[in-house]
Amino acid sequence: MPCRTCGAPLRGFEVIADGGGAIHFTPTAAVLKKLEIDATFDGTGPRWLCRYLDGYPCFDCETVDLAVVDVRLLLECEGKEFPQSDWTCPACACPCLGPRPLESDGAAGRLLAFLKHKYGAPLDGRLCPSCGRVYLSLHPDDSVARKELAERFPASGPCPSCRRGRRRVTRLDAPYCGYVALREPSHDGKEGRRASGGGVRFVRRGVHAPRASGTSVSVRKPARESGMMGASLQKRSR
């Protein structure tokens, strides 16, 4: 997957909470009901794993694109469960699908935009059916979250997409599992090295915005001392 800014080829990382849970689209009740009666269902097979997210960081541009593991297979299995969206993919201009909630393995709770300790705003994901990229956003009517973001986090420049809103940067938080980070893919049962903490840039277009505020994920270049890539925002408070 190339970087949307500089065009450099990017390498995929796993998107995992500090507690070890991988991030994925939450299956609908209809999908879960089918799985309960499917004797051939394999929770480690591609038809289940296709819903999980990978992250593609560009260390030069300090951004990360999120994408599902296998968009074709996900749409084949659950395409009817994704509503049509009025958003278009910034990368390929294809109409997106969604919104749909996301969660972490082992914890029944929606992915959040961190606001303070044990306090966050629910995020939904929109899926590009062409390139598989996933874009996170607040609910369009969540005026409380927009107000909290504006009060708690300073603006970090204009939105590069709409050129109207001001960005607020916070972390991705998976309830009961911790902050979300990128890890190198595991090999031979060994956990991959932690590559970064996940900072999210939210565009606040006003309390009465007609659409949900868009997000992008940001990173910093690796520190020379440790070879690690730091989170783009605030230190963890718990």
pLDDT at 147: 92
User: Using alpha carbons only, what angle is made at residue 16 by residues 13 and 17, rounded to the nearest 5 degrees?
Assistant: 150
Q: Is residue 111 a part of any domain in this protein?
A: yes
The boundaries of the domain holding residue 212 are 13-218
Q: Is residue 169 a part of any domain in this protein?
A: yes
Q: Report which of residues 30 and 124 the model is more confident about.
A: 124
Name the maximum alpha-carbon separation found in the chain: 52
Tens of pLDDT, residue by residue over 114-132, are 999 889 999 999 999 999 9
Tens of pLDDT, residue by residue over 171-221, are 999 998 999 999 988 765 555 555 555 555 444 333 222 233 345 454 444
Count structural domains, the chain: 1
Tens of pLDDT, residue by residue over 153-163, are 998 888 776 77
Q: Is residue 230 a part of any domain in this protein?
A: no
* Among candidate residues 111, 100, 94, the one with its CA nearest the CA of residue 78: 100
CB environment 59-89: b (16+ within 10 A), e (fewer): bebbbbbbbbbbbebbbebbeebbeebebeb
Q: Is residue 135 a part of any domain in this protein?
A: yes
- Predicted TM-score (pTM) of this structure: 0.79
